[in-house]
Amino acid sequence: MADNLSDTLKKLKITAVDRTEDSLEGCLDCLLQALAQNNMETSEKIQASGILQLFASLLTPQSSFKAKVANIVAEVAKNEFMRIPCVDAGLISPLVQLLNSKDQEVLLQTGRALGNICYDSHEGRSAVDQAGGAQIVIDHLRSLCSITDPANEKLLTVFCGMLMNYSNENDSLQAQLINMGVIPTLVKLLGIHCQNAALTEMCLVAFGNLAELESSKEQFASTNIAEELVKLFKKQIEHDKREMIFEVLAPLAENDAIKLQLVEAGLVECLLEIVQQKVDSDKEDDITELKTGSDLMVLLLLGDESMQKLFEGGKGNVFQRVLSWIPSNNHQLQLAGALAIANFARNDGNCIHMVDNGIVEKLMDLLDRHVEDGNVTVQHAALSALRNLAIPVINKAKMLSAGVTETVLKFLKSEMPPVQFKLLGTLRMLIDAQAEAAEQLGKNVKLVERLVEWCEAKDHAGVMGESNRLLSALIRHSKSKDVIKTIVQSGGIKHLVTMATSEHVIMQNEALVALALIAALELGTAEKDLESAKLVQILHRLLADERSAPEIKYNSMVLICALMGSESLHKEVQDLAFLDVVSKLRSHENKSVAQQASLTEQRLTVES
């Protein structure tokens, strides 16, 4: 065979120049046969012989052998090492020209050749891009889209594959295809040829790639992709095929318009059915499908319209089914159920309805099952749901009397920052304007000590911020001397002073209001801590800084006046020449700041 091949290659060199048709065809057949037997070895010999350069002249529209030569190029380009030589041999331009042929076999082999040269090859893609190959292929897809005979479907599959290889993992080429309008064409293809497995699969892979690009989402939303995918999904029984559709659905469902389209096309019912079928299985494929299906369900609920449509005033079948996941024994379903409730709890009406219908007790039971060595993701999700449910004012007292704080406090010992973060947020929401609850929690030494510890969690900015905010909230909502004493004894004062220098105005403000209450109610107890935390210097800085927000200046002056009752802090105020800074603020454009500056100036003058 090897000698035979060498002879063929030599002969081909001569006949390609002389164009002796019969012997040329014989040589080409011989090459195809050799490639079929040992593609890699034959390709190496073709490259070494220098014959590739001659192929360009055999790929002209006039050549009788163009389909055979394109077939040979397609075969050799299956090898990675042959792709750049094909580009260097100048084969791309004649191949792209052949895309204008009317001959189906020529189109098929040319599509294969270009697709294989582009596979994982920057040089190949770049050459096809420069020759304008993509637009011609898209035009073919458009014009051949409605023809359903097997030969045409085979050609469509090859063309889809070529575009895939051309643009795979290349954002700029994918964007180019999107601008050329490939998405509506592929969606139409999927609808017409959904019986053809190979073509369907190729469309799905193409969608999966294109859907990752943000710019594709609007184009997808203007087609009936949702309907087509759901229709296809309903027909699939094989796990692998369903998985392929899931891989397209997940990135598409990040778009709110498409979320709603998927809900209207009946995807949710399919997902609920999958959950029901797979929930008790321990087969790996079924476990994967249960996770993917329930995760996608939660994703659909992230859109406001799609979520409200599925909530149906709390009477909807979907909402009821999701509720039933929470008491299940399957961790994945518990997680999806809690996340779904957190997503449903995104407006006051839904939250109030859910609290009135016993959802809080279900979530507390779920948390109780995960206290000891619990599942962190389930803890996090259930706490997220409780936090959202606690936002409406009317729900707070109901949730407090249901015992939510006691359940939440069981997770104080958690060492997982995401759980700590949600725990803190839930407690902060619950005590908002609830004086009794704030006082009860503020006197809980274990809680306050843990908060002080978390205020130093420098690696976890979220936990640190929420701990500070909860400390401040305990004081602001309870206005209780006992709470202040507990916080002083636990070493919390320095954190509140630091919080007054936060980059977030809302946190600065919360800190200043809490500190003003401390100064008004328990100045003697907190005096030493306020001194060592350098509060007076910080207030001077806040007042002198032109960038400080009006409310920060206002509350800083209120606090200065409250500190005058302490001899040592009063002395610090005098030493820092506050009068100069305050008198400048009397002409501040904000009326409240200007008025407070006048009052503060009087106070400082009287006391000096």
Dist. CA 271–CA 306, nearest whole Å: 15
Evaluate if residue 3 carries a pLDDT over 60: no
Q: What integer pLDDT is reported at residue 1 of this predicted model? A: 43
- Band of the pLDDT at 20, cuts 50, 70, 90? low
Tokens of 472: 């401040």
Dist. CA 306–CA 168, nearest whole Å: 31
- Residue 339's H or E segment, with its range, is helix 331-344
Query: Among residues of the chain, what percentage have pLDDT more than 90?
Result: 74
Mean pLDDT, the chain, as a whole number? Answer: 91
Q: Residue 66 carries which side chain, given as an amino acid letter? A: K
Q: What integer pLDDT is reported at residue 510 of this predicted model? A: 96
Are 319 and 312 contacting, i.e. CB atoms less than 8 angstroms apart?
yes
Q: Taking phi first (over 0 means left), then psi (-120 to 50 degrees means alpha), and beta for anything else, what does residue 386 get?
A: alpha
Question: How does pLDDT run across 395-415, given as a tens digit for each residue?
Answer: 999 999 999 999 999 999 999
Dist. CA 91–CA 53, nearest whole Å: 8
Lowest mean pLDDT among 179-183, 188-192, 309-313: 309-313
Q: What integer pLDDT is reported at residue 241 of this predicted model? A: 86
Domain 266-433 fold is: Leucine-rich Repeat Variant (1.25.10)
Lowest mean pLDDT among 22-26, 41-45, 238-242, 313-317: 22-26
- Band of the pLDDT at 91, cuts 50, 70, 90? very high
Question: How does pLDDT run across 95-113, given as a tens digit for each residue?
Answer: 999 999 999 999 999 999 9
Are 382 and 342 contacting, i.e. CB atoms less than 8 angstroms apart?
no
Q: What integer pLDDT is reported at residue 422 of this predicted model? A: 96
Please give the full DSSP string across 235-296, using - where no structure is assigned: H--SHHHHHHHHHHHHHHTTSHHHHHHHHHTTHHHHHHHHHHHHTT---HHHHHHHHHHHHH
Evaluate if residue 6 carries a pLDDT over 70: no
